[in-house]
Amino acid sequence: MRTRLPSKQTLGYVGVLAASLALAIVSGWTAVANQFDDAAYDWMFRLQPPATKAPQSMVLGIDDATLSAMGGPPALRSMLATALERLAPVNPKAVAIDVVLADVEDAKEDQRLERAMQGTRNLVLVSHLAEGRWQKPLPGFERYAAGLGHDTADENSRDGVTRQIPLEERTARERYWALALETFRLTRGQRVIVESPQDLAVGSEIIPAARTDQGNRPLRVLFSAEPIPHVSLKDLVDKPEIAAELAGKVVFVGVTSITGAQDRVRTPNDNGRIPGVEVHAQLFETLARGHFLTDASNLAAVGFSVATGVLAGLIFALLAGWPAYLAGGVLVIAATFAPLLAFRQGIVVPYFSSLFSAWLTCAAAASYQHFVVRRQLRKSEADRKRYQQAIHFVTHEMRTPLTAIQGSSELMGRYNLSEDKRKQIADMINQESKRLARMIQTFLDVERLSDGQMELKREQFGARDVVEACVQRVRPLAERKNIGIRIEELDGALQGDRELMEYVVYNLLTNAVKYSNSGTQITVACRLEASQLRLSVRDQGIGMDAKELRQIFQKFYRTKRAEASGEAGTGIGLSIVQQIVQHHGGKMEVSSEPGKGSCFTVVLPAHSRASQPPTVSV
Ligand code: ADP
């Protein structure tokens, strides 16, 4: 488990998740997503075909053979009459004729058809909606119909596949139920279909076909993989004994001829097109089976996506490393299979938005956490380094004054010293402890400067003041090694933090002393050149080669040469020097040659009125 995120990060995290979730949900309404959803629907449909049950219906088809044997399309009504006459003896449960019978044709044939209709139980005829008007069967036919139903058998879908059919079609004044629904009602012995906004009831059967924006109550048809059994009318005429197969069945009569039927329909089963009359039979079987596929409501679909997003967010907020990726992977897999499970339960969930929201939120959560964690790691690594350096600095720089104080105080305690000597030592202790205090202050200032917590002081002071003060402090060290310090011209004024600048000069001077042999000379100068102030410390010491020169400002770097001399410290001083100079808007220049000496130059922007004491500066 990780520590809790600070609130700004939590907000950012929630924001990123919410944005990706919104993107996933909104993109679920695009055309691409709809295509994806349709393809996924067809795939699931084929994966889990409706339970096979012996069909209650059959198709009596007027196929190509029938048409050519019985007189072609003009003889359609005589064919229908023949069909009904042949069916009458076997007494089907219901007969639905999927042919528009709105126009007056041959009176004699029509009369024959009327007579055949008269002898047919539960006859359902077509009411066809064309250009906003209902084309109903001729009154002579309608008289014998127990029901009228609309004949829409295909869906105006993007890819031309019919997945659902409207159970209701209406004009402003008249409304008809689907041919198959009317047939179903009659087979259930019901007089009416009871409707509510959410569903339809035929007796005790509830059909979950909610009223939609178009008001046409679409219902997904559970097309069986096996076609509905077909009988060709020609075969029935040729072999009357076939009629027995149709006994007690619900018979859908219609044109199945490939050339004659215009309404051939593609289904999710992807096994070619089927004639419209079979679609009616398939819808009838769907109703008869009583198992339905309903679309998840928009609210449920969005709820599912949001739940996935929240889970993804929690996973990557509470877990880290591989357990988080593992749990995220499980979530994505679960989101992939959830629509399939829902489909098994008869609920169609929009696949694209569920899947996309799982993927997108997981990816967003994972990358957010990845980068935030990386940033935090980098920061804590930097903090750790700084802390380490601070410790090095303290031990390195403070050892000298501490040793002096320690030694002197021991001296005072152990020996009986003269008053003069005692005073001298007490002064020394006082000075060294002041130096220690200054050092601590310098150290803290540089720390805070580089941390951005502190602003640089902006005092103005002469270069001479600083250099002379430092030389005075270094001189005893130099004298001990018999090294001379020569001060050349000291022009110019500096602007900035005097304490820190003193640190710079003192450090360069002590280095010059440390890395020089006895009998050599150190030269200090400060010159104004163009708009630059150049403060240089030159020695005749051990020097450095070009490769070493490139690295001396790195923390902890020490040259081999310096280590061999036994003088090298921790390699921090110059890095602080460089930081201070940079904070003052300047830079360091170094030239050096092994065995010949080095020259360190602090280059700063020049400030006017050289050498004037700060009190009179403006
Ligand atoms: P320290 O002197 O404590 O090691 P610095 O950061 O001041 O740390 O210096 C880094 C290294 O640069 C030294 O260890 C030394 O190798 C080299 N160096 C610094 N000043 C000089 C100099 N004047 N002459 C030769 N080498 C130097």
Q: CA 302, 355, 359: angle at the middle one, nearest 5?
A: 110
Side-chain-side CA neighbours of 352 within 13 Å: the count stands at 17
Specify if 387 maps to a domain: no
284 with 300, same domain: the answer is no
CB 80 within 8 A of CB 61: no
pLDDT (0 to 100) of residue 428: 85
Among 240, 261, 290, the domain boundary falls at 290
- Please tell me the residue having the least CA distance from ligand 1 atom 14: 558
371 with 407, same domain: the answer is no
63 alpha carbon – ligand 1 mean position (Å) = 104
549 alpha carbon – ligand 1 mean position (Å) = 10
Helix (H) or strand (E) holding 126: strand 123-126
For residue 300, count CB atoms less than 10 angstroms from its CB and return exposed for 0-12, middle for 13-18, buried for 19 or more.
Answer: middle
pLDDT (0 to 100) of residue 608: 57
Whether 617 has a pLDDT exceeding 60, the answer reads: no
Over residues 187-220, the pLDDT tens digits come to 999 999 999 999 999 999 999 999 887 779 999 9
Give residue 569's pLDDT band: very low, low, confident or very high (50, 70, 90): low
- Please tell me the residue having the least CA distance from ligand 1 atom 13: 558
166 with 91, same domain: the answer is yes
Dig out the tokens for 364 from the structure. 């967003």
Specify if 383 maps to a domain: no
38 with 56, same domain: the answer is no
Instruction: Give how far Cα 583 sits from Cα of 445, 449, 477, 576, Å.
Output: 12, 8, 29, 10
586 alpha carbon – ligand 1 mean position (Å) = 20
Give residue 23's pLDDT band: very low, low, confident or very high (50, 70, 90): very high
Domain coverage including residue 550: 459-617
147 with 11, same domain: the answer is no
Where do we find the tokens 């229908």? 80
Ligand 1 neighbourhood includes 597 CB (under 6 angstroms): no
Instruction: Return the CATH number at 435.
Output: 1.10.287
User: In whole angstroms, what separates CA 4 from the centre of its chain?
Assistant: 22
85 with 169, same domain: the answer is yes
- Rounded to an integer, the average pLDDT of 437-441 is 73
Over residues 491-525, the pLDDT tens digits come to 888 889 898 899 899 999 999 999 999 999 999 99
Specify if 2 maps to a domain: no
Specify if 39 maps to a domain: yes
120 with 223, same domain: the answer is yes
Among 270, 290, 310, the domain boundary falls at 290
pLDDT (0 to 100) of residue 2: 47
Closest alpha carbon to 221 in 251, 256, 179, 186: 179
The whole-angstrom separation of Cα 377 and Cα 263 is: 67
513 alpha carbon – ligand 1 mean position (Å) = 10
Supply the pTM of this predicted model.
Answer: 0.62
Ligand 1 probe mutation, 551, 558, 596, 599, most atoms within 8 A of CB: 558
400 with 439, same domain: the answer is yes
Residue at 226: amino acid letter: E
- Three-state DSSP at 86 gives helix
20 alpha carbon – ligand 1 mean position (Å) = 55
Atom of ligand 1 lying closest to residue 543 CA: 25
131 with 158, same domain: the answer is yes
Specify if 571 maps to a domain: yes
The whole-angstrom separation of Cα 126 and Cα 102 is: 9
Closest alpha carbon to 455 in 607, 577, 573, 584: 584
373 with 510, same domain: the answer is no
Among 269, 290, 311, the domain boundary falls at 290
Specify if 133 maps to a domain: yes
Ligand 1 neighbourhood includes 544 CB (under 6 angstroms): yes
Helix (H) or strand (E) holding 140: helix 139-142
Contacts of 244 (CB under 8 A, 6+ apart): 90
CB 463 within 8 A of CB 611: yes
Which own/partner contact pairs does 34-40 have at CB distance under 8 Å and 24+ positions apart?
34/158, 34/352, 35/158, 35/159, 36/351, 36/352, 37/350, 37/351, 37/352, 38/157, 38/158, 38/159, 38/161, 38/163, 40/339, 40/351, 40/352
Specify if 389 maps to a domain: no
Least confident among 34-38, 258-262, 289-293 = 258-262
39 with 62, same domain: the answer is no
558 alpha carbon – ligand 1 mean position (Å) = 6
Give residue 282's pLDDT band: very low, low, confident or very high (50, 70, 90): very high
Specify if 384 maps to a domain: no
405 with 542, same domain: the answer is no
Q: Into how many domains does the chain fold?
A: 4
E strand residue ranges, 430-498: 459-462, 484-490, 493-496
Least confident among 311-320, 485-494, 508-517, 558-567 = 558-567
Instruction: Give how far Cα 44 sits from Cα of 41, 270, 290, 347, Å.
Output: 5, 12, 19, 11
- Please tell me the residue having the least CA distance from ligand 1 atom 11: 558
Give residue 144's pLDDT band: very low, low, confident or very high (50, 70, 90): very high
The whole-angstrom separation of Cα 611 and Cα 105 is: 123
Ligand 1 neighbourhood includes 503 CB (under 6 angstroms): no
The whole-angstrom separation of Cα 350 and Cα 357 is: 11
481 alpha carbon – ligand 1 mean position (Å) = 17
